[in-house]
Amino acid sequence: EKSTADGQVATAQATYNEALTRLKSAQDKLAKAKEALNNIQNDQKIISTPDQKPVEKKTTKTVKKTTKSTKKAKKVSSHVRLTHNAFIYTKSGKAIRSGLHFKLVRRGKTVKALKNAKIVTIKGKRFYQIGKNQFIKVANAKIVTHAVHVKAVIKGKKAVRAYDRLGKLNKHSVKGGHTYTFNEKAVINGKTYYKIAWTNNWIPASKLNLKK
């Protein structure tokens, strides 16, 4: 009976030892499983954590506005009316061709004379400029005047010479300090003139004190 009991104890001990071994193995596996789980969780945290975007420094570009102070020169112009057909010339005095014919402005037509109808001398002849490198002879045109009705006093006490409608001095003069009536106004050779009523005497505006 004793040997039977010892055998049972030995068997039980072997079973216990085997159970302990299995338990230890299971514990080891459990520990490894926990470790693997922790690693997975950590990896998941890393993946699910949004990346921090680098802070971008906003660099404001200062655009310097350069204001162009270049003043465009105004092309001041007067008008002339053609009294004859007029050929168009270059600044060197050559008549401009258009195919087989010369370019011209027909009689009776009104055109702009640039630079306040300033007269340009080319090879001894007087011209008005009507375009870029385009000129017509003064002799073929007449300044377009504007009707006015004003009174003005001649400046100073000295006599002032009068001009014709081409801006040339004539043989007449007006008395300084006297009042005259003017009925036409025009820009002649770059200057403003007033014409004394019922005469062909033109007086520069710079010599007049206009009455209001």
Write out pLDDT tens, residues 38-74: 666 555 544 444 444 444 455 555 444 444 433 443 4
**pLDDT category of residue 1 using cuts at 50, 70 and 90:** low
| Cα 93 → chain centroid | 36
Q: Which of 189, 196, 144, 145 is nearest to 168 (CA)?
A: 189
Write out pLDDT tens, residues 141-156: 988 888 999 999 999 9
* Pairwise pLDDT comparison (184 vs 165), residue with the higher score: 184
Fold annotation for 145-210: SH3 type barrels. (2.30.30)
Whether pTM exceeds 0.85? no
Name the 3-class secondary structure at 3: helix
Helices and strands per DSSP (H, E), number in the chain:
2, 17
The whole-angstrom separation of Cα 36 and Cα 32 is 6
